[in-house]
């Protein structure tokens, strides 16, 4: 399956053909739908046939491997057959909000010391859990993140080999989730001079696109676990 979001996260639709349909969902030969993973929710949207029949897609999940995306249709959606030609289209407004927040969490990771023990991205908000003793100051944290946003740093993906990542274990900040390896190479996200770590999610091109954020609750989730919540400023 050709995963078009890897090369262009701003692509909102594509022409595709159905390659399989089973109890899990629908598979295509190519897709713009990002599957749930790395704390980022799967895309929602639609598949449209040539006659205008529209199938609502309520989730996208990883299949048997990292090159396989399963498109989950709404329960009452019309049935598709192998070989059907469709236009796959994501809910772009929702995806863009997820991209903005995912990139923002990388900025949070850059300004907070401590390994990441968990995280989640939602529509309009997100959080990371850090292995750290003390709670950081909310106002200072918000100022630092918003400064990095306003400086409009470029955000670019790059790839390294499995061997290169093994030689640089400090690139991996997450304690609970390890980057997918075994395929020969690993995708990194590079916020120039700010953050560099493995990530397969979708991101904005420049930090200025994120928009201003607010720091919500900073919660204690254990003796050395601090949960920092972010949301877009209204």
Domain ranges of the chain: 2-90, 95-232
Check for a shared fold between 2-90 and 95-232.
Answer: no
The hierarchical CATH code for the domain 95-232 is 3.30.980.10
Mean pLDDT, residues 93-118: 94
Structure tokens at 216: 């919500």
Fold of the CATH domain 2-90: Elongation Factor Tu (Ef-tu); domain 3 (2.40.30)
| pLDDT tens-digit series, residues 47-72 | 999 999 999 999 999 988 778 999 99
Q: 133 or 19: which carries more pLDDT confidence?
A: 19
Banded pLDDT at 199 (limits 50, 70, 90): confident
Question: What are the helix (H) ranges across the chain?
Answer: 4-7, 92-111, 138-150, 162-167
The two beta strands, 116-122 and 45-49, are unpaired
């Amino acid at each position: 399956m050709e995963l078009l979001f890897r090369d262009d996260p701003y692509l909102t639709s594509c022409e595709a053909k159905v390659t399989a349909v089973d109890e899990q969902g629908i598979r295509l030969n190519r897709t713009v739908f990002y599957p749930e993973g790395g704390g980022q929710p799967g895309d929602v949207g639609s598949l449209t046939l040539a006659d205008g029949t529209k199938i609502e897609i309520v989730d996208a999940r990883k299949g048997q491997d990292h090159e396989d995306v399963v498109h989950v249709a709404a329960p009452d959606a019309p049935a598709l057959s192998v070989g059907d030609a469709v236009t796959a289209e994501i809910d772009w407004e929702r995806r863009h909000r997820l991209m903005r927040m995912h990139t923002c969490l990388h900025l949070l990771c850059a300004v907070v010391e401590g390994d990441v023990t968990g995280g989640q991205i939602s529509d309009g908000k997100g959080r990371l859990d850090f292995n750290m003793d003390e709670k950081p100051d909310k106002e200072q944290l918000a100022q630092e993140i918003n400064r990095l946003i306003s400086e409009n740093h470029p955000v670019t993906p790059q790839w390294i080999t499995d061997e290169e990542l093994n030689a640089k274990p400090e690139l991996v900040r997450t304690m609970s989730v390890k980057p997918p390896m075994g395929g020969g190479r690993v995708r990194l996200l590079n916020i120039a001079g700010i953050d560099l770590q493995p990530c397969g999610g979708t991101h904005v091109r420049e930090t200025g696109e994120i928009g201003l954020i607010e720091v919500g609750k900073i919660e204690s989730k254990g003796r050395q676990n601090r949960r920092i919540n972010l949301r877009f400023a209204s």
